[in-house]
Structures are given as C-alpha cells and as structure tokens.
Amino acid sequence: MAKGTRGLSRSPWTRFASGPSPHGGACRQGGLKVSPPRKDSESATPGAIGERPGRHAIRRHSETISPVESMRGRAGGGEAPFRALPFASCFAYLPGGSGSVCEEGRLLCARLKAADPVWLPHIAARVWSETVAHGRFAMAFGARVVLVPVPGSAPLQRGEWVGERLAWCLREVGLAAEVWPVLRRRHAVRKSAFAAAGERPTVLEHYASFAIRHVLRDSASIDPCTFGGEPRWLGLQLTLVDDVITRGRTLLAAAGRLHAALPGADVRAFALLRTLGPDETLHRILDPCEGEVRWARGDARRCP
C-alpha cells in the first residue's frame, strides 16, 4: 500500500460490475503513482438514451484558504479568476423545452441530482464507453488525471455531494487515477436552479465562497516540483467534475481557486449534463461536446 494512503476507506460508489476497476484501468495506468515530471522551469438508463451523433481520495484537513492561495489569485474588482477553461460534457437538456426528448432530458437531470446509487454507476459506464470506445473526452480523462469534485451551493458538513459521487463513479470505471475532494464552500451562495436569471451568483461570488483544503505533501501521492521551497505542481492534470454546466460560472470560479492553490497544474472540467439555451433545439440527449468557458466582460461565456 502506498505511503500516505493507509487507513483511507474505499469509496462506496463502485460500478455495477463485480468490483471496481484498477486505478486508471481504462487508460492503462496500471496503478502507477501520479507524479508529474520534474522540470526546471447517459432516457433514464444508459444504452437507451437518444442516439449517438456522427485510487482513493486524498482526505484533507483545514477547510480554509491555503497559504499559497492567500498570496496569489485574489479575484476582486472585476479581475478574472481564470481566463479560459476547457470543458467537456456528455449529455444535453433543454429545461423549458417541450416534447419527449426534452422530457427525457429533464428526467435525466432529476436522476442526476438525486444521485441514485444504482443508476449513477451506470451513467458513468456510459461516459466510459464514449471515452474509450468512441475516442471522446481525451482532454478531461486519462491515466494521470486527478478528479476534483465541485461542491454544491452550500457547505456540506457530512456525506458526499453529487459532484463527488459522480467523480468517484468515473474513477471506479477507470477514467482517472484519483479523486481529490479538496474544494469546499466557505459559505452558501444562491442556488442557481431557483434564482432568476439576473439573480444567480456571479463568478466572483462563487470564487469568494470557495476554499481549498490544505494539500498535504506527506499524504498525497502527487509529487509537487519544488523551487525555492515552494511547490509548483508542474504537470499535474486536474479535471473539475460537476453535474450540470449552464454558463460555466461555477466551474470558472472553481478553476480559479485550484489555479491559485496549485500553481502550474493543468486545470480542465467535465460536466455530465450541458444546459441548452431557449433559442436552441434539443435533438438528442446523448450529445458529447468539448468546448471552453471564457472570462469575458466580467462574466463567464460558454462556447458551445
């Protein structure tokens, strides 16, 4: 057993097969330690959803802003917490749309939010299929990728939120090396699903509410590259995991916090479900997509 991982419990969020796959197994990691190079400088069930178009978590402590984060990456006065965030999503839905496909999308969203412990591993297996069998999402998953779940709108005292459960399921099917649930809410923000368009939390409000638990080098299996006594985390591949992406404000703010705390890391994002706008048409809910969320004119802009 690797040093620093003793005593850590296995995640209960395993795939529907007889047991979990090896760490990063889908990506042929084979249980390798994740060490960046040191440098000098899913209708309701998968398989019936529309049509297909042409390690263990590292437990952290101290739910505060890390020392490194407190010295850099302070987003305020309209400053960008993160300029551009590559993202991927597997499914799409149109909240206010009519018809059977839109209804199917809303059902998918409801089951996702409920984090059904039987259904969620199946949906993760569908993501695995799109990744391995169809060559998608290479920018989000891989043998050396660490998944960082994005928390809900309020601090959670115990248990796991949807993003964390999803991240564990994705790791269990072999799409990543580890899950790091290090991102937390310092205080609650308005829940976007129940807020009017003009009252949803801004990128900067999300950023201010996020904190990174201290990253402990003596318990992590990620080796930082150190210069002058300060870890630079060069080559570390982090993928934020969230259930739904709309404009991308939450993900952009979360990326900013990660970048501030782990400078030098490569930050990407994956959201299982992508929301379409009222002027768009939903043709199928299985709609794999890769795009980018950018900071533009003081707000997040998602494309597509």
How many Å is the maximal CA-CA distance in the chain? 60
Contact (CB, 8 A) for 285 and 93 = yes
Supply the pTM of this predicted model: 0.75
Highest averaged pLDDT of the listed ranges 78-82, 85-89, 198-202? 85-89
Contact (CB, 8 A) for 273 and 108 = yes
More confident residue, 233 or 239: 239
The string of pLDDT tens digits covering residues 120-144 is 999 999 999 999 999 999 999 999 9
Contact (CB, 8 A) for 20 and 172 = yes
The string of pLDDT tens digits covering residues 13-53 is 443 333 444 545 555 444 444 444 444 443 433 433 333 34
Reference 277, options 107, 94, 106; nearest CA is 94
Residue 97: phi, psi to the nearest 5?
A: -75, 165
Contact (CB, 8 A) for 108 and 49 = yes
Sequence length of the chain is: 304
Q: Which domains does the chain carry?
A: 62-303 (3.40.50)
- The CA distances from residue 83 to 138, 207, 232, 248, 300, in Å, are 21, 13, 19, 12, 9
Q: How far apart are CA 236 and CA 148, in angstroms?
A: 12
The string of pLDDT tens digits covering residues 148-201 is 999 998 887 566 789 999 999 999 999 999 999 999 999 999 876 656 667 789
C-alpha 158: how far from its chain's center? 19
